[in-house]
Structure formats: structure tokens, C-alpha cells
């Protein structure tokens, strides 16, 4: 039996109150997305240092946000296209603007955390926080 709590976590966005299911995202995948080849620990350290020099780059911030939301949110999916074309089962990026930083922070934190089994609620249903 697959225990999804080991791989996914439910969160509630602080401003909208929307619930999201998130998953872990590997940092090495993030670095690869940015174009860094990190096959060894030394190359990873070098890439991280180079990344630190670009922290004020607005494009980097947008790429980072989009990467973590695209790869870390299981459901509901986030739509990055034109608002008028957003499918009914997805949330438009513009609609969660106030929550974006908190959601990305949750994904990053969860990506480095050990899986902890959620405690059952009074009704016996497990909910992860």
C-alpha cells in the first residue's frame, strides 16, 4: 500500500485559504533548470556561488518561482497562461499572487524535510499540515 503522506503534504495558503497538495522538489533539478551542470559536489558549490551573484536578477526570481510552483504543486495545478484561458480545474497564477511566496517557501522547506506521518483528526482522517 502506498502511503502518500510520505511523498506529499497538504498546505493552506495564508491569504486565500486555498488548499494545495505539494511534493518534494530536488534542488539539483532546480539547478539543472537554470542551466547549471552539477555532476560533482565541487561543481554544485561553484554553481551555488554563481547563483548567489545573480540573486537580484528579476528573471531568476521569476524562473525560480515558476519552477517550484510547476514542479512542487500537485493539485490544484497552477495556470501560467492567459487568465481568460485558464482551465476550470486549475488556478490562475494571478489569482494566488499574495500567496506565491508562502507556497514556494513551503515547497522548499518540505523538499528538505523528513516525512512525518500526520496525526489523525477527531474523525479519524489523517491530514498533514
**Residue 66 forms part of a structural domain:** yes
pLDDT bin (cut points 50, 70, 90) of residue 121 is low
pLDDT bin (cut points 50, 70, 90) of residue 51 is low
pLDDT bin (cut points 50, 70, 90) of residue 127 is very low
**Residue 91 forms part of a structural domain:** yes
Neighbours of 75 (CB within 10 A): 14
Q: Classify strands 8-12 and 19-23 as parallel, antiparallel or unpaired.
A: antiparallel
**First-to-last CA distance in the chain?**
22
**Residue 37 forms part of a structural domain:** yes
List the domain range (segments joined by +) for residue 76.
Answer: 8-110
**Residue 26 forms part of a structural domain:** yes
Smallest CA-to-CA distance from 112 within 25, 33, 47 is with 25
Domain count, the chain: 1
Q: What is the mean pLDDT of the chain?
A: 84
pLDDT value of residue 108: 94
pLDDT at 49 over 90: no
pLDDT value of residue 124: 44
Between 91 and 121, where is the model more confident? Answer: 91
List pLDDT tens digits, range 62-110: 888 999 999 999 999 999 999 999 999 999 999 999 999 999 999 999 9
pLDDT value of residue 2: 86
Residue 69 contacts residue 79 (beta carbons within 8 Å) = no
Amino acid at each position: 500500500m502506498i502511503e502518500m503522506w510520505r511523498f506529499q503534504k497538504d498546505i493552506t495558503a495564508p491569504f486565500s485559504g486555498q488548499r494545495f497538495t505539494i511534493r518534494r522538489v530536488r534542488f539539483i533539478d532546480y539547478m539543472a533548470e537554470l542551466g547549471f551542470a552539477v555532476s560533482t559536489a565541487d561543481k554544485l558549490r561553484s554553481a551555488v556561488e554563481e547563483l548567489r551573484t545573480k540573486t537580484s536578477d528579476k528573471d531568476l526570481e521569476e524562473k525560480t518561482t515558476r519552477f517550484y510552483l510547476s514542479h512542487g504543486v500537485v493539485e490544484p495545478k497552477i495556470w501560467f497562461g492567459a487568465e481568460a484561458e485558464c482551465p476550470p480545474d486549475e488556478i490562475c497564477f494571478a489569482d494566488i499572487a499574495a500567496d506565491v511566496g508562502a507556497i514556494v517557501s513551503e515547497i522548499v522547506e518540505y523538499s528538505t524535510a523528513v516525512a512525518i506521518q500526520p496525526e489523525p483528526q477527531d474523525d479519524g482522517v489523517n491530514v498533514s499540515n
